[in-house]
Every structure is written in structure tokens, then in C-alpha cells.
Structure 1
């Protein structure tokens, strides 16, 4: 049995609807509708144990997944949802040892996910034009423990990709078609390009640029996830959910 250490991310479970992801730090207090907890008091507590808030409510202390830690980050921009992140990761072919270029960084959800999977010998180079987004993303990378695998640049990728022979390029930008020719030039043979955009107009412009750059194996898709109510005897789709979030365009340099 392992115990909570300072700096750990933990999930405080109240019930199926209400649970909280927190980072254990000395001098910090967690507040919720179920009361508050001095986070220092969690240090040394065995995972799987219950702790009490200041008003006597019990919370189960358990380990977090990487996805849960992502959801606990401060968001400065619209983020790519886990349902899209999973497909993007597989479609791009990114794995341990991959060299990846990504833009724009935003809150850093995609960057951090890529970094998590290129470990321990790969690297993600991420470009962000806005300094405030760049600075917040750096804090998020440090909190997640993935900063050692990331080179973050407060730079406009339209000024050129500085890296050579990269395995994958991923673009989450308003006008990705402006980068397509540059991405083709910097990708290694067999390297992948993945683009995430919210509208079909952007898809069309990106497709034109892909074809003029001689990319092959071009595909457009979207991921739709529907969650279900899990109460026994009442199993049915939830009436509310996130459906369309964006289009994923994938292509390969032959």
C-alpha cells in the first residue's frame, strides 16, 4: 500500500457525481460544498483511506489518472477534449522517442499529452504566439511533471519551424493551411501531420493546401462520445453531453 506524498495529485471521491482533483501542497486548503481540508494533512495518508472535512463529511483518497490531472489544470483557452486527444495521439503515431512539433500551445492539454507519451527519450517542441498563454502553459507543464520533455517557444510558428526531420506535426490554429508547406518540408519521410479545427470552412482550406503540398493518406473525421447514466435499472444515454468539438485532419508525408 502506498501513501500520499507532497506534490502528489489525488482524487477526493465523494460520490459518482462529485469528486475533486487536487495537488497536495503544504500551506494550501481545499474548499468544497462538503467542507474544507488542510492539504498538508493528506501527506502520509494511505491511498484508499477516507479523510474527513472540517464539517465531518468523508472523502475517499485515491490516485489520479493523467486525464484527471489534465482536467484539474487552470484553463486559459478552449481545450481539446479527451475524446479527441486519444484519437489524435494514435492517428499521429506519436510514441516513446518521437520528436514532435506542435502549435499553438494554449492551455497545454495537447502538448502535455504528447509529452506524456514521448517519454523518456522523445521531445515536444511547442509554439505559442501569446505570452500570457505561454507562461500559463509552462506552469501547467511543471505541475504535471512533463516539462523535462517539452521545449516551449513564445514564437509565431508562421515565422518558420526551427526543427528538422520531425516525426509528427500537430496544429491547433485558426489558419493551419498557412503552415502546411512548412510542415511538409520539416517532416521526415513517413512523418504525420494532424490538424484540429472547429469548422468545415477551415477543413476545406486545409485540404487544398495538403493536396498542393503532396501529402498522402489524407483523412477527415470527428469523434463523438456519448455517456450513459449508470444507475442499475435506469441505464440510458445522458440527455446532456459534448458532441461536436472539432474536425481532425490527418495526412502523411510519403
Structure 2
């Protein structure tokens, strides 16, 4: 069994609302409402063990999952929650070895989650224009242990004269105006490549959908995901009074080829052919007015 040692990541778990994520350091400790938790007390124990605090409370020593890292990252911006992350990965078919384009790094929650899936052969290329957010995201990505599989770019793809990537498997967009970058995203995606955009409002969703149609994307789907937890207890199981309601709308689509150019040529050709086949109208000769009969003199 894996033993906890210096620099091991540990989730100190008391209950759903009280849990602390830390990297073990012999000299570190922290004060909580359930007592003092010393890092040194965790060293040498197996994951799943528990510690007793000076207030006779206990915490479990759990090995952190990517869910834990996402929920505990430093928030510079609104994060994409696991309830949405799971659907994004499943719907887009994200897997090991894929090349992922991300526009709008934010706090790095989506970046870290996806990098953990595409590793070790895949890679996430993420773009942002805010240097402060990028520094926060860099720390969060490093804490999640996936820095090796992420490349950050400080570049505005809306105005970029030369696009830095091509043949991407999936594009993930988290911007206030995602429809603006759809033409650029299309050029960087492979044929049938997937796109997922995060839209906080329905107005954004509507503009985005129109842009997707204009730029030849198909299989367009918009969804919202609500998560409600259940408190299961002996004799009094019920829905939880707390939960994550609306966080965002998700828009999915795939790059296709509508052949609009060839259809225009074909339509023009058909029009010309039809014009040639149409018989010219026969000109009718003008009739000469009939001569009036002369009146005989009486």
C-alpha cells in the first residue's frame, strides 16, 4: 500500500463541507474548528488512515483525485464544475493522445481536468490574454500535477494574424463572446473535430449557434446540467437542501463541410442551362388595320 511521505498530496477529510487539500511538509500544521492538524502525524501512514486531533476529532487521510483539485483550486475566475466537466469529456470523446485547443484558460480547472485525461501522449494548448489569471492558472495546473501536458499562450486569437495550431481534435471555448473566434477555431480543427463552448446566458448561446451554422458546424447541441445530491440516512433519506444549480450552458458542435461553394457553382450552372433550354418567345406580326368600307352615295 502507498505510504504518505514528505511532499505527498493529501486530502484531510472531516465531512463534505470541511476538507483540506495540502502537500505534506514535516514542519507544517494548521488550526481548524476540530483542532490542530499536524502534517508530521500523517507521514508513514497509508492513504485511508485517520488522524485524531487534540480536540478528539478525526480526519481521514485521502489520496486526492482530480475532482478534489478542481474543487480546491484558487479561483481567479468562475470555474467549470465537475458536473459539466464530465459531460464535456464524454460528449466530445476526449481521450488519451488527443490534441486539445482551449481559448480562455481562466483558473485552469478545465485545463487541468482535460490534461489529466489526454496524458501521457496528448497535450492541451491553452490561450488567455490576462497575465494575472494566467499566473493563477499556472499554479493550479502545477498543483494538479499536469504541467507537463499543458502549454500556456498569452495570445489573443481574435486578432492573431497567424494561427499557431492546426489539426486539433477538440476546441474548448470559455469566453464572453465565443462566436467571435469560431472562424479561427474552424481553421485549427481537424475535419469532424468537436467544439465545446461555455455560455453563462441564453443570449450568448443564441449568437454562438448562429455563428456555428454560418461557419459550417453540424450536430449542434445545447444543454444545461443540474446536480442534486441525496442525503441517505437510516429512516430519513431526503434530497439535500444544498446543491449546485445553474452554473452555465454548454454548446457542442462538430466541424463539417456544407459544400456551399460547389452548390453555388452548380446552381449558377443550372440557371445558365435552364436559360439556354427556354425557347425564345415568338414575335407576333402586327396586324394591319382593316380598311373601312366606303359608304355608297345614295
TM range (shorter): over 0.9
Is 2:29 the partner of 1:18? no
| Aligned match of 1:100 | 100
CA deviation after TM superposition for structure 1 residue 149, in Å: 0.2
Q: Following the alignment from structure 1 to structure 2, what is the Cα–Cα distance between the partners of residues 104 and 26?
A: 37
Q: Which moved more, 1:227-236 or 1:2-11?
A: 2-11
SS at structure 1 position matched to 2:10: strand
Tell me what 1:81 maps to. Answer: 81
* CA distance, structure 2, for counterparts of residue 155 and residue 165 of structure 1: 19
**Conservation of the 8 A alpha-carbon contact between 1:101 and 1:126:** yes
Q: Distance in 1 between matches of 2:19 and 2:234?
A: 21
Distance 1:185 1:128, change over 3 A: same
Contact 1:215 1:253 in 2 (8 A): yes
Q: Is the 8 A contact 2:10 2:24 kept in 1?
A: yes
Corresponding residue for 2:210?
Answer: 208
* Shift, 1:230, TM fit: 1.7
Query: Could you tell me how far 1:199 is from its partner in structure 2?
Result: 0.3
What is the deviation of 1:64? Answer: 2.1
Question: Normalized against structure 1, the TM-score is what?
Answer: 0.94
Name the SS for the 1:242 alignment partner.
coil
Show the counterpart of 1:116. 116
Deviations, residues 22-65 of structure 1 (Å, cap 9, x unaligned): 22234332331112223233222222322232444322212222
Residue 17 (structure 1) shift:
5.0
Separation in 1, partners of 2:17, 2:133:
31
Unaligned runs of at least 5 residues, structure 2: 257-298
Are 1:191 and 2:193 an aligned pair? yes
Distance 1:90-1:130 versus aligned 2 partners, 3 A rule = same
Q: Which runs of 4+ in 1 moved over 6 A?
A: none
Rounded Cα–Cα distance in structure 1 between residues aligned with 2:16 and 2:73: 21
Q: CA RMSD, aligned part only?
A: 1.6
Aligned partners of 2:122, 2:15: CA distance in 1, in Å? Answer: 38
Task: Pick from 209, 219, 223 the counterpart of residue 221 of structure 1.
Answer: 223
Change (3 A) 1:111 1:104: same
Change (3 A) 1:199 1:15: closer
Tell me which moved more, 108-117 or 84-93: 84-93
**Equivalent in the alignment of 1:156:** 156
> Given that residues 41 and 51 in structure 2 are in contact (C-alpha distance below 8 angstroms), is that contact kept between their aligned partners in structure 1?
no
Structure 1 residue 10 displacement after superposition:
1.6
Residue matched to 1:34: 34
TM-score (ref. length: structure 2): 0.81
CA distance in 2, matches of 1:148, 1:165: 21
Match of 1:175 in 2: 177
Unaligned runs of 5+ in 1: none
Aligned-partner Cα distance in 2 for 1:172–1:31: 37
Instruction: Provide closer, same or farther for how the CA distance between residues 117 and 16 of structure 1 changes in structure 2, counting only shifts above 3 A.
Output: closer
**Which one has more relative contact order, counting CA pairs under 8 Å at least 6 apart?**
1
SS in 2 for 1:148: helix
Question: Does the aligned pair in 1 maintain the 2:157–2:184 contact within 8 Å?
Answer: no
